[in-house]
Amino acid sequence: MTSTFPIARKEPHAIPIHGHTLQDDYAWLREKESPETIAYLEAENAYTHSVMEPAQPLIDTLYTEMLGHILQTDVSVPYRDGRFEYYSRTQEGQQYAIYCRVPVQPGLTPRPLPPVTGFADEEILLDANKLAEGEAFMSIGMTAVTDDGNWLAYSTDNTGFRQYTLHIKNLLTGETMQRLAERVGSIVWATDNRTLFYSVEDEETKRPYQIHRRSLDASHLTLSPDEVAWEEPDERFNVGVGRTRDGKFLIAEAASHTTSEQWFLAANDPSGSFQCIEPRRDNIEYYADHREGKFFLRINDTGRNFRLVTAPVALRGSEHWQEILPHREDVMLEDIDLFRDFYVACERFQGLPRLRIFDLAGQEKSSAREISFPEPTYTAAPGINREFDTATYRYGYHSLVTPSSVFQYELTTGKSTLLKQVEVPGGFDRALYASERIFATASDGVQVPVSIVYRKDAFERGKNPLYLYAYGSYGYSLPIGFNSNRLSLLDRGVVLAYAHIRGGGEMGKPWHDAGRMMQKLNTFTDFIAVAEHLVANSYSAKDRVAIEGGSAGGLLMGAVANMRPDLFRVVLSHVPFVDVINTMLDASLPLTVPEYEEWGNPNEQAAFEYMLAYSPYDNLAAKDYPAMLVKTSLNDSQVMYWEPAKYVAKLRTLKTDNNLLLLHTNMQAGHGGASGRYDYLKEIAFDYAFLLWQLGVEKI
């Protein structure tokens, strides 16, 4: 048993920049292959497991509870794509999903929901459990089936580094061509059923920068040599490739955080050259789909929140554009789902998602039918809709108290039918829980939305422990949905709150703009304001606030723990981006150069000084901090393991309290943690045990 925490050695490392000299005594932890680095991480793991050993009965109890709320053998709702209907299923005791299909039956489309064991005539495309045999980690990246249904291209990652390998399976014979290409991203087939396009990452920075084209020789089970069909030289831009929903065009895209450009190629002319739809302009994004000789462009040229225009394929210049949905200051046009006779505008209004259907049968400009949702806070999003010529639309809905549900909207009647709602075993009663949506006033007067859920009979104003979660970066709107794991917190009286802070996308692009670059501090002060508001309004006892965030949300955790450590009792920080300056000064790392548009470039003095003011690693100080559990993974490709490792090592030498500080490194995973569903559940049980223990909900 390890009773004392490890002390990492200091090795002075000076970084002179802009008149400052930064000291990084733990830079040596970047040496991943060093035995000393691995020994330190393993020593931290041993200490963490020693400290948590008395909590093992609670961890086991939580795991059993959470497992009891999951239907371990289950099946998804099938969706049609060409001649087949596709679905996935899970089996009790198996870590991963099984991906299947069945032929479309005339007169029976869609088929009824399959039994949990699958249809009798099902064909298994991929069994991820078999792919995972002998592997500590397994993730399926992209999949693409040829139009004739005979060939499946797919990619896998067996390390967690999000470096995917391409494979092709003959669905007629079951034969598989393995490891055809490395560092593969998006995948798409042309209509000839033999030409494959896929994006490839740069070996140094993991930036997707090329679109490759290869032809399949079906008779010899071989692919032609790699041919670069399209390349993006600008390091700010990532590339991808896909197909319009009507199947007529391949679309290659280059996108940075603020600018995008798309190129097209007829899907029946795979040997041709890509042509630009609209030349890129700085700070202008657009995204295209196609219908009846026109591109439909969602573009933010006249306002940050996007509008919708059509552009003839043959006459693509902006002088030929026709606006069919204008820009609105109070509505974010997040996406467009385009079909033969209608399109769906996926919007966000007053911070909440909405789906509006527009008829295209007679004219492109038409009035909308809106799908209504009954709860104060929720997530509603497009489902899987592969068919272009359809009179139905699939969408998903869930909330903090309503399990994940799949609906089908009928265009002819305007009615939605529930196809499936995830079953929650173990006695879940929706009526026991309440959800609310409130607003907290930020330091500059801005109203910040907050979503809240609690168990009614366990809620006592001013006495409950609080769990507060947020992200607040990249314009990402925090989804508010159901998660049965959270019942283990709610049933113990923990109030759960989710802060929709600036830097996210809940209020459109301006909400993102107000929390990035030289406005990033708003993200942190918004979060603090939300925590203060929840305590002041008796959603929590003032000394029982736990907070959690991951990745860029881990940056949030580090920043607010430095700014207001007195406000929080417990911090759960997952793969946290805490070493902002050192990471953003290293252009060789994945993500750094493209993310100058999110955080700023510290090689510029003004940006450096602003980032230095909040960088968690650089602002650690000799004072009391909350109890912390910091988690990372050795193979993380997005936030390198050494950021949280250095952060904990430095904090250990500075903190003046006796609160727990634990670091745990998953030595066989990446950014998302364990890949198997049971392994991942054990990680959640571990986190919740730490949280409940430190909040005083459970005694250890």
CATH code of the domain covering residue 260: 2.130.10.120
pLDDT of 369 > 50? The answer is: yes
DSSP 582-593: HHHT-TTSTTTT
Q: Within a domain: residue 290?
A: no
DSSP 503-533: TBSTT-HHHHHTTSGGGTHHHHHHHHHHHHH
Q: Look at residue 499 in the predicted model and tell me its pLDDT.
A: 98
Q: How confident is the model at residue 316 (pLDDT cuts 50, 70, 90)?
A: confident
pLDDT tens digits, residue range 35-79?
A: 999 999 999 999 999 999 999 999 999 999 999 999 999 999 999
Q: What are phi and psi of 101, to 5 degrees?
A: -155, 160
Give the chain's domain count. 5
- Same domain (yes/no): 642, 523: no
- Same domain (yes/no): 557, 699: yes
Residue that the structure tokens 């592997």 belong to:
135
Q: List the catalytic residues.
A: 551, 636, 671
- Same domain (yes/no): 483, 562: no
pLDDT of 366 > 80? The answer is: no
Instruction: Choose the final residue of a domain: 393, 423, 453.
Output: 423
Distance spanning both ends of the chain, measured CA to CA = 17
Q: Within a domain: residue 306?
A: no
Q: Look at residue 1 in the predicted model and tell me its pLDDT.
A: 46
pLDDT tens digits, residue range 623-676?
A: 999 999 999 999 999 999 999 999 999 999 999 999 999 999 999 999 999 999
Q: Within a domain: residue 317?
A: no
- Same domain (yes/no): 529, 627: no
Q: How confident is the model at residue 542 (pLDDT cuts 50, 70, 90)?
A: very high
Q: Within a domain: residue 95?
A: yes
What's the rounded Cα separation, in Å, for the pair 509 and 505? Answer: 6
Q: Look at residue 112 in the predicted model and tell me its pLDDT.
A: 80
| Spatial CB neighbours of 594, under 8 Å, sequence gap ≥ 6 | 207, 235, 236, 237, 238, 256, 257
pLDDT of 111 > 70? The answer is: yes
Instruction: Choose the final residue of a domain: 403, 423, 443.
Output: 423
Residue 597 belongs to domain with CATH number: 3.40.50.1820
- Same domain (yes/no): 412, 430: no
pLDDT tens digits, residue range 462-497?
A: 999 999 999 999 999 999 999 999 999 999 999 999
Q: Within a domain: residue 653?
A: yes
- Same domain (yes/no): 3, 146: no
Q: Look at residue 105 in the predicted model and tell me its pLDDT.
A: 85
- Same domain (yes/no): 505, 535: yes
- Same domain (yes/no): 129, 159: no
What is the mean pLDDT of the segment spanning 386-390?
96
Q: How confident is the model at residue 605 (pLDDT cuts 50, 70, 90)?
A: very high
The overall average pLDDT reported for the chain is 96
pLDDT of 221 > 90? The answer is: no
- Same domain (yes/no): 50, 106: no
Q: Within a domain: residue 307?
A: no
- Same domain (yes/no): 693, 587: yes
DSSP 142-181: EEEE-TTS-EEEEEEESSSS---EEEEEETTT--EEEEEE
User: Whole domain around residue 651: which residue ranges?
Assistant: 1-68+551-700
Q: Within a domain: residue 335?
A: yes
Residue 620: what residue type?
L
- Same domain (yes/no): 579, 678: yes
Q: Look at residue 213 in the predicted model and tell me its pLDDT.
A: 97
Q: Which residue has the higher pLDDT, 107 or 453?
A: 453
Helix (H, G, I), strand (E, B) or coil at 363: coil
User: Which pTM value belongs to this model?
Assistant: 0.96
Q: How confident is the model at residue 689 (pLDDT cuts 50, 70, 90)?
A: very high
Helices (H), 518-578: 521-536, 552-563
Q: How confident is the model at residue 3 (pLDDT cuts 50, 70, 90)?
A: low
What's the rounded Cα separation, in Å, for the pair 145 and 149? Answer: 6
Alpha carbon distances (Å) from 193 to 41, 54, 230, 348: 48, 58, 20, 38
pLDDT of 109 > 80? The answer is: no
pLDDT tens digits, residue range 167-211?
A: 999 999 999 999 999 999 999 999 999 999 999 999 989 999 999
Instruction: Choose the final residue of a domain: 374, 392, 423.
Output: 423
Q: Within a domain: residue 308?
A: no
What is the mean pLDDT of the segment spanning 595-613?
97
pLDDT tens digits, residue range 16-47?
A: 999 999 999 999 999 999 999 999 999 999 99
> Could you tell me if 140 and 127 are in contact, meaning their C-beta atoms sit under 8 angstroms apart?
no
Q: Could you tell me which of 122, 123, 127 has the C-alpha nearest to residue 94?
A: 127
- Same domain (yes/no): 178, 253: yes
